[in-house]
């Protein structure tokens, strides 16, 4: 799972570069209000990125989560197929034959 660590490190580095550019080059040219709004933007951006990274890592790291997602998907597919059968043939069908 080394790729996740590298991924997180890269995003952290990109975030740091954004903040560095905003704070050191733009700040002398603009007002304090813009400075603080850019700081807020950086914090929100960083939080969203970290949340997404951990969400992706959580889903792909745990096999139970993958099993749960696939069972939910199969259940939805089966219900959709049963609904189609009821409309077309006015009776329930064997879902395994439909797939």
Q: What is the mean pLDDT of the chain?
A: 65
Residue 6's pLDDT is 67
Structural domain range at position 8: 2-61
Please write the tens of the pLDDT for every residue from 32-70: 666 666 667 766 777 677 777 777 766 666 666 667 767
* Residue 15: pLDDT over 60: yes
Residue 99's pLDDT is 45
Domain membership of residue 73 (yes or no) is no
Residue 51's pLDDT is 73
Cα-based angle 77, 79, 81 (whole degrees, multiple of 5): 70
Residue 21's pLDDT is 64
Domain membership of residue 75 (yes or no) is no
Domain membership of residue 54 (yes or no) is yes
Instruction: Kindly state the DSSP code that residue 21 receives in the 8-state scheme.
Output: H
């Amino acid at each position: 799972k080394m790729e996740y660590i590298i991924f997180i490190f890269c995003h952290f580095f990109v975030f740091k570069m954004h903040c560095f550019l905003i704070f050191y080059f733009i700040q002398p040219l603009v007002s304090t209000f813009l400075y603080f709004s850019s700081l807020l933007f950086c914090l929100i951006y960083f939080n969203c990125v970290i949340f997404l990274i951990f969400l992706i890592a959580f889903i792909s790291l745990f096999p139970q989560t993958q099993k749960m997602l696939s069972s939910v998907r199969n259940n939805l597919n089966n219900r959709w197929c049963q609904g189609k059968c009821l409309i077309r043939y006015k009776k329930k069908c064997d879902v395994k034959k439909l797939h």
